Structure 1
């Protein structure tokens, strides 16, 4: 691809769309990342002559922009200290727990936020420099919430979209953030702000109304042309303390023509590359591998499967507690049932994640020590990341998929499992606190905090009449197959084009 002065479509994400690999001759190269976001946007970038701005994954290294697989890639350098403060610190020890209902306690450090602001500015400048006149720039996720406003300042000619892949918290939680006004104003720099669930979009609108007092109608937020600095809000005319909410609010009135611009906030539920999962599930070698997995587990009647990043939001501890109690009660027995838990490594530089891994591995050891037999194991625990082919084989082997997240923006594993089950067999047990629960109503929906309810659902899933299971799975597959990740991207970008 020839270098040009600007690109019509620019994606800004924390990571580039490629991973560095070691080639057969011992050199280094790049391959396209397997994630759903890259899968959805790569064809659009190829059609639009697009660029992708992101960190390439190595600290204290600066790379020049390069082309790969039909994309122009713009690496953003980060120092080791910035990775620690911006990424592991503010993004994953402040925002992540705060946005996930404070399941873990968020930490608030001023130097983390200063690093976050500095890195967001670097991403914004890189995107502004590479975008053509009137380009569309799509910013991705919670690590880059200040970028939209920075882009608007640098390039008022471009269309700006933002998508939040994780939940957005209710006003009472979000208001704990010391830099709440900076984050809100950062996000409101976008023309379109997308969320996974309607409830997330409503939470954002409520926070904007409560904290900033902006007028909102039909998902459209009327952003004043001249916005006050955060520390000036409480002194503005029309602003008053609201003791009932513990916030500063303003009586919102429809603004006068020309005093504002529109930022729209609404839900665009993300999905998966359905076609790829379906094609893999039909491959003879993957079907044979799924059968091999069942044999290696001793051909139990019911294989329960959990697939998660090792994260405290995923409800892995609750799942294991429910399974252990079912074994203790005699409602399940080892040999008749087996739990396979894939827990891919995650943020191992963050202390809370190291402690979680120790706790989970200790729990697995205790349960297996108590209930294993010479022929069968109670829990097969796999602390690895696996290629998609192996994951699809696991989906085919599993009778019951356990998605017990305590809070999750969407949870694409639930959709991948359903897409793989073309036979119509299999049962999905799904937490009502995932975005997927809004769309997948034929799953067995549960409150993962209620261990007794989770136990009941696991037994029901294991003993469900085959016709009932097939009826539920057929309904789930219709939803997943008709709403794939390409449709998600197209709907967001079409709406963004309409707004401008």
Structure 2
């Protein structure tokens, strides 16, 4: 850092070199992607996504820095400025990407936290790499944080960082937000390193979750595995000698989207025309249904395809009258479970299309791509029914994007009750995706619901999404983090 760094001589801490930044976000990835220009040179482009959109104004106002991996293994980069913020790359080796990220984060924690839909794997080498990488993130953060800075750590890949930061820099105000579900005690108990992870999270002054049930699950695990006193979502953390040390709070802060931006795109004439073109490309069917997911076993894509295939078999829908667009963005393709899932999904699509396609009509248009937001909004506008059938999902922002895009209050949302969005989008047609007959009935209901009823439901949901956008989410969390003080009384 610059020569402006100062040295603390506070009596209650060791001599510390402070950094220059008052607000730091810490996440697994930096909010930029490297792009190669036509002349072969490389540059950085801001990544799409609501988190950076929500936090960019805070960054600009509070002299902010973002700590994260830049996406290329076995490469070390110096800090650099981009999009009005300081970016601090944390290097990861190819082996660490395999063990820390693909291994412990996505083959241990991800399935465990999603109700063991797939079996988690427990390997000590993965845990060792996860711990070392978390230490590196904490060290990088401590080095750039000014005295008394606010640090906001993001998501399950970095659950040890809050405690490591508290130990290295007790002057910091530390928040943590878990973007995915937190599992019930009976499932979390399987994790061999359950106490270490809880201790890591409890280093934060405020721990945010998507749903109140997630916060309750966490507090129940704290009580079971650490024995701390808990009062009204406040954990009274004790030191090793049993004395009270500080308070850590666990609360729900449901994340949202940049709703006004989605709504603005939905009113652009070129995007409206593209939505019409999509319908023409499908033969102008009476109904278009849409699924948009990362290709992941938690999303319930297979359940959705099974229900749709049975509706075609039963004759409740025909390829002449309806078409399903399924966007399945590539995901973790080096992980075996995801390769097998892709084969299974593509096999299901092939069987359904082979059975029901005609020369003019296709039952399912399957798209294994990622698309820019403009194309996604065009798809939202083209679709009469949105199908969100997640088996377990922290929030599901696609559901909220669809609602925000429906500026004329038309369209129907079929939404899994196991997605966090179901807590607030109560006017959706809520389903248990494991109940195939119930899912089929929900799809038929969405297709046949009177327009006045669909508009009434959509109007209420749009009001909720537009009033509770991602900027309001970030403000609510940061206000709660600061209003709660340092949790030392």
TM-score (norm 1): 0.93
Q: Which residue of 2 aligns with 1:326?
A: 311
C-alpha distance in structure 2 between counterparts of 1:49 and 1:437, whole Å: 36
Q: Which residue of 2 aligns with 1:81?
A: 95
* 3-state DSSP of counterpart to 1:194: strand
C-alpha distance in structure 1 between counterparts of 2:4 and 2:178, whole Å: 30
Q: Which residue of 1 aligns with 2:109?
A: 95
Q: Is 1:8–2:16 an aligned residue pair? A: no
Deviation at residue 212 of structure 1 after TM alignment:
1.1
C-alpha distance in structure 2 between counterparts of 1:97 and 1:336, whole Å: 38
C-alpha distance in structure 1 between counterparts of 2:83 and 2:352, whole Å: 47
C-alpha distance in structure 1 between counterparts of 2:37 and 2:477, whole Å: 37
Q: Is 1:170–2:184 an aligned residue pair? A: yes
Task: Pick from 405, 414, 424 the counterpart of residue 399 of structure 2.
Answer: 414
C-alpha distance in structure 2 between counterparts of 1:19 and 1:303, whole Å: 33
Change (3 A) 1:328 1:260: same
Counterparts in 2 of 1:435-450, with a 5 A limit? 435-450=420-435
Q: Which residue of 2 aligns with 1:360?
A: 345
Counterparts in 2 of 1:478-497, with a 5 A limit? 478-497=463-482
C-alpha distance in structure 1 between counterparts of 2:401 and 2:369, whole Å: 18
Deviation at residue 485 of structure 1 after TM alignment:
0.2
Change (3 A) 1:438 1:3: farther
Task: Pick from 253, 267, 280 the counterpart of residue 268 of structure 1.
Answer: 253
Q: Is 1:56–2:41 an aligned residue pair? A: no
* 3-state DSSP of counterpart to 1:184: helix
Q: Which residue of 1 aligns with 2:8?
A: none
Deviation at residue 260 of structure 1 after TM alignment:
2.9
Task: Pick from 179, 193, 214 the counterpart of residue 179 of structure 1.
Answer: 193
* 3-state DSSP of counterpart to 1:478: helix
Deviations 1:197-234 (A, max 9, x none): 00000000000011111111111010003378xxxxxx
C-alpha distance in structure 1 between counterparts of 2:213 and 2:334, whole Å: 32
C-alpha distance in structure 1 between counterparts of 2:322 and 2:179, whole Å: 34
Change (3 A) 1:443 1:227: farther
Q: Which residue of 2 aligns with 1:205?
A: 219
Task: Pick from 274, 278, 283 the counterpart of residue 293 of structure 1.
Answer: 278
Q: Which residue of 1 aligns with 2:160?
A: 146
* 3-state DSSP of counterpart to 1:419: helix
Deviation at residue 26 of structure 1 after TM alignment:
2.2
* 3-state DSSP of counterpart to 1:260: strand
Task: Pick from 237, 242, 250 the counterpart of residue 223 of structure 1.
Answer: 237
Deviation at residue 498 of structure 1 after TM alignment:
1.2
C-alpha distance in structure 2 between counterparts of 1:224 and 1:84, whole Å: 35
Task: Pick from 65, 82, 86 the counterpart of residue 68 of structure 1.
Answer: 82
Task: Pick from 383, 392, 411 the counterpart of residue 426 of structure 1.
Answer: 411
Deviation at residue 4 of structure 1 after TM alignment:
6.0
Deviations 1:284-329 (A, max 9, x none): 0000000000000011111110000000000000000000000000
Deviation at residue 43 of structure 1 after TM alignment:
1.0
* 3-state DSSP of counterpart to 1:448: coil
Deviations 1:94-145 (A, max 9, x none): 0000000000000000000000000000000000000000000000000000
Task: Pick from 169, 181, 193 the counterpart of residue 155 of structure 1.
Answer: 169
* 3-state DSSP of counterpart to 2:453: helix
The CA RMSD over aligned residues, in Å, is 1.2
The count of residues paired between Structure 1 and Structure 2 equals 471
Deviation at residue 2 of structure 1 after TM alignment:
9.0
* 3-state DSSP of counterpart to 1:157: coil
C-alpha distance in structure 1 between counterparts of 2:194 and 2:271, whole Å: 48
* 3-state DSSP of counterpart to 1:223: strand
Deviations 1:228-284 (A, max 9, x none): 8xxxxxxxxxxxxxxxxxxxxxxxxxxxxx723100001000000011101100000
C-alpha distance in structure 1 between counterparts of 2:250 and 2:470, whole Å: 20
Q: Which runs of 5+ in 1 are unaligned?
A: 229-257
C-alpha distance in structure 1 between counterparts of 2:2 and 2:270, whole Å: 40
Q: Which residue of 1 aligns with 2:364?
A: 379
* 3-state DSSP of counterpart to 2:22: strand
C-alpha distance in structure 2 between counterparts of 1:39 and 1:373, whole Å: 44
Change (3 A) 1:3 1:485: farther
TM-score (norm 2): 0.95
Q: Is 1:469–2:485 an aligned residue pair? A: no
Q: Is 1:193–2:207 an aligned residue pair? A: yes
C-alpha distance in structure 1 between counterparts of 2:283 and 2:320, whole Å: 7
Q: Is 1:340–2:325 an aligned residue pair? A: yes
Q: Which residue of 2 aligns with 1:137?
A: 151
Q: Which runs of 5+ in 2 are unaligned?
A: 6-19
Task: Pick from 271, 275, 290 the counterpart of residue 305 of structure 1.
Answer: 290
